[in-house]
Amino acid sequence: MNHLNVIAVCIGVLVGGCSQKAAEPVVSAGEPLGLQMVRTEAQLKKYPFRTLLEFEASTDPVFVKVEGEKGKIDRRRKHTGEGSLIIERGSKAMAVRVDLLFSGSAFPGRWALAGAYFYAERPQRLGAVYEVQGTAVAGVNVQIPGGQWTPVMLDVAAGTEGKQLPIGVLRFVFDGGLGQAVWCDDVLVMDNTQVVVDSGWVIRERGFEFVVEKAGVFTVAMKTPEASDQGWRLEEAGAVRARFASKGKEKSCTIYSDGRRIVDGKMTLLGGANAAAIEHHPNPGQVSIATEMGRVDRNSAEDLNNDGYSELTGAYQIVAAAPRIELTLAPQAKPLYCPVLEISGLPAGNVLVNMEGRVVETTARLANARLLVVLPGTLTRPTLVSLRVSQ
Ligand SMILES: [Ca+2]
Ligand SMILES: [Ca+2]
């Protein structure tokens, strides 16, 4: 059995029982909050990876230093194979010589994440740092739960991208020294690069970061919860819009491919987005629709004042009652810059949207079957929009 098979089998065994438990943060009172490793085995195992050390061969510990000494293999615990590396009580640090392991080749190269699985009987805080010539280019503080093997991975891509850096050392630090023994088994690198959207703009995930990019117009990087307690999860992504949610200070972020960005209801503009959008956002227009065709949804969670316009997503909320609807959008205090309609209740099929006889080109179906329609230009008077789904 080669290395890849060994770890794939072991991860598979762990998935059922452990992933749920790993989702609960375990934090001791009085200590600074450690990041929770929210990426579980189940999520990690879909990515290509390479096992660097599995602590079976007697040569493996050569690449590892615990308290400045060569590491020791222990057969009482294992994540893969027969043995693991033991880090004795009282130890303050363990270092993996990535420079030796990747000697003669590029690092990180294609790999975005580097790290290891750890086991402790009780919850254990630890720091992980990727150091190049004594300088940390990536780092994270986490707390692993007790009684289960937990991956502690570090984004080694974000801090090194585009720089010609020599290969460094992966260091795991136990502040104040370990109060218990900790085992490490399987040091690995992983490539979790995923292009989520490539359609006029690109949304990709690499390491613990999302990059939202419209070539030549804007690029935004957003950290994921593994990299920051202010990190973002991707909730929705398509050709027109992406939505992120966070448990940090800022909770909601919506980005449109035209550069409109709304964070917790406040709009800013990325790149060359039109400034009229800023005035439109707090001054939405009014949608009128015949009852037999549908209704304005004033109760969506993202609509903070129940007027049918969602402050959090910058879209008018409409529920269709038929496959063919007509509605009027009337400006109130300010002109309406490229208004976005979000329509639920439409059947599947091709959609044709007209605005006063003009075909509306920018539409997108979301994963939840809702339709987004971006009306072109700036509306200064009541405007008729008709929409038809052909099945
Ligand atoms: Ca092993
Ligand atoms: Ca509203």
- Provide the whole-model pTM: 0.82
d(CA 187, ligand 1 centre) in Å: 10
CA-CA distances (angstroms) from residue 64 to 127, 140, 187, 341, 376? 16, 20, 10, 57, 60
CB-based neighbours (< 5 A) of ligand 1, an ion: 54-55, 78, 80-81, 185
d(CA 284, ligand 2 centre) in Å: 8
CA gap 335, 354 in Å, rounded: 19
CA-CA distances (angstroms) from residue 302 to 46, 238, 264, 297? 33, 19, 10, 11
CA 247: distance to chain centroid?
A: 12
Which residues, given as ranges, of the chain have pLDDT below 70? 1-43
For 273-289, b/e burial (b = at least 16 CB within 10 A) is bbeebbbbbeebbebeb
What is the three-class DSSP state of 32?
A: coil
CA gap 109, 106 in Å, rounded: 5
d(CA 265, ligand 1 centre) in Å: 49
- pLDDT for 9 equals 30
Token duo for residue 211: 């990059």
- Asked if residue 239 lies in contact with residue 247, where contact means CB atoms within 8 angstroms, the answer is no
Class of 282-390 per CATH?
mainly beta
CA gap 165, 91 in Å, rounded: 29
Phi-psi region of 176 (alpha: psi -120 to 50; beta: other; left: phi over 0): left
Closest-CA residue to 91 (of 51, 53, 120, 132):
120
Query: Which ligand lies nearest to the CA atom of residue 317 in the structure?
Result: 2
Q: Provide CATH 2.60.120.430 ranges for the chain.
A: 3-190
d(CA 279, ligand 2 centre) in Å: 14
DSSP letter, residue 300 = -
CB neighbourhood size of 207 (10 A): 29
CA gap 23, 42 in Å, rounded: 12
Q: Provide CATH 2.60.40 ranges for the chain.
A: 282-390
Longest dimension (CA), the chain: 78
Say which CATH superfamily domain 3-190 falls into: Galactose-binding lectin (2.60.120.430)
Token duo for residue 81: 């194979």
Bridge partners of 159?
Answer: none
Phi, psi (rounded to 5 degrees) for 179:
-90, 0
CA-CA distances (angstroms) from residue 248 to 224, 228, 231, 235? 11, 9, 7, 15
CA gap 81, 90 in Å, rounded: 26
d(CA 56, ligand 1 centre) in Å: 5
d(CA 118, ligand 1 centre) in Å: 11
- pLDDT for 30 equals 32
CA 17: distance to chain centroid?
A: 24
Query: Which ligand lies nearest to the CA atom of residue 299 in the structure?
Result: 2
- pLDDT for 266 equals 97
Contacts of 185 (CB under 8 A, 6+ apart): 54, 55, 77, 78, 79, 80, 81, 83, 84, 85, 116, 117, 119, 149
CA gap 327, 382 in Å, rounded: 10
d(CA 221, ligand 2 centre) in Å: 28
d(CA 60, ligand 1 centre) in Å: 10
Query: Which ligand lies nearest to the CA atom of residue 310 in the structure?
Result: 2
- Asked if residue 50 lies in contact with residue 186, where contact means CB atoms within 8 angstroms, the answer is no
| Sheet with 266-269, edge to edge strand ranges | 232-237, 241-246, 252-256, 260-263, 266-269
Query: Which ligand lies nearest to the CA atom of residue 78 in the structure?
Result: 1
CB-based neighbours (< 5 A) of ligand 2, an ion: 303, 305, 307, 309
- pLDDT for 40 equals 62
CA gap 146, 143 in Å, rounded: 9
- pLDDT for 67 equals 79
- Asked if residue 176 lies in contact with residue 28, where contact means CB atoms within 8 angstroms, the answer is no
DSSP letter, residue 33 = P
As separate numbers, helices (DSSP H) first and strands (DSSP E) second, the chain gives 4, 34
Query: Which ligand lies nearest to the CA atom of residue 282 in the structure?
Result: 2
Query: Which ligand lies nearest to the CA atom of residue 53 in the structure?
Result: 1
N- to C-terminal Cα separation, the chain: 52
